[in-house]
């Protein structure tokens, strides 16, 4: 990961999940993973966080959408196998693999460390990234949506931990705090777990006690 990239993390000063700039990355001392030095883009607070190091391999791709081809880079798990005919996410788009190029030539399937370029045809749907603030934890998830589908402040999103309400939406050009935006323009959706989820859980624990 480049130090120019941003990521979402809990800011101890802001008291919520905010976008952070990566100042520095180094191997954790005496621990597995990487130590990230992060600066909050909202208040400027700097903190360090340990994050697990994933074994990922980068490969190129060419995604075709109605005659228009988009080139990019994607990350694959080391033990992943890319196969012609399967569906795959490339960037924030979903496509179906039409060919796989390796150093030895074009093949029907190949392991991640053999893949040079993935050729795919877009299926039209977009993958919207969602960060859900749940107390002191941040849950990350992805939601499929049609490009023209709108996400609005106050909308409810279901998670495996309960319902969450959208509080902010980041687009390519601005941060939306009122109204909404179409999936095609969204970079990330921010949401908070609804209080009623915790209230319901407390009542159940009380009644079972």
Of the residues 98, 125, 152, which one is the last residue of a structural domain?
Answer: 125
- Give the model's pLDDT for residue 36: 79
Most confidently modeled range among 16-20, 53-57, 117-121 = 117-121
Q: What is the pTM of this model?
A: 0.48
132: in domain:
yes
149: in domain:
yes
Which residues are CB-contacts of 113 (< 8 A; sequence separation ≥ 6)?
57, 78
The total number of structural domains that make up the chain = 3
- Do 78 and 95 sit in the same domain of this protein? yes
- Give the model's pLDDT for residue 54: 57
- Do 193 and 174 sit in the same domain of this protein? yes
- What does the alpha-carbon distance between residue 141 and residue 201 come to, in Å, rounded to a whole number? 22
Domain limits at 44? Answer: 6-51
pLDDT digit string (tens) for 58-92?
899 999 887 788 899 988 877 789 999 988 878 77
31: in domain:
yes
Which residues are CB-contacts of 59 (< 8 A; sequence separation ≥ 6)?
73, 74, 75, 76, 82, 112, 115, 116, 117, 118
Strand partners, 58: 75
pLDDT digit string (tens) for 152-202?
999 999 887 789 999 999 998 899 999 999 988 898 999 998 875 544 444
19: in domain:
yes
Mean pLDDT of the chain: 80
In terms of Cα–Cα distance, which of 186, 151, 190 is closest to 167?
A: 190
């Amino acid at each position: 990961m480049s130090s120019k990239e941003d990521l979402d993390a809990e800011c101890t000063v802001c008291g919520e999940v905010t976008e952070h700039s990566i100042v520095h990355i180094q191997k954790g001392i005496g621990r597995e993973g990487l130590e990230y030095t992060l600066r909050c883009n909202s208040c400027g607070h700097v903190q360090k966080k340990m994050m697990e190091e994933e074994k990922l391999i980068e490969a190129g791709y060419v995604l075709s959408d109605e005659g228009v081809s988009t080139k990019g880079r994607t990350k694959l798990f080391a033990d992943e196998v890319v196969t012609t005919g399967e569906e795959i996410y490339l960037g924030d788009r979903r496509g179906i693999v039409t060919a796989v190029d390796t150093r030895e030539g074009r093949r029907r399937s190949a392991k991640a460390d053999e893949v040079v370029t993935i050729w795919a045809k877009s299926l039209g749907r977009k993958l919207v990234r969602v960060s859900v603030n749940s107390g002191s934890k941040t849950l990350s998830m992805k939601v499929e949506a049609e490009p023209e589908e709108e996400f609005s402040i106050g909308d409810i999103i279901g998670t495996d931990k309960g319902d969450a309400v959208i509080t902010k939406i980041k687009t390519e050009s601005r941060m939306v705090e009122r109204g909404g935006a179409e999936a095609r323009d969204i970079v990330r959706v921010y949401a908070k777990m609804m209080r009623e989820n915790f209230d319901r859980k407390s009542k159940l624990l009380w009644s079972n006690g």
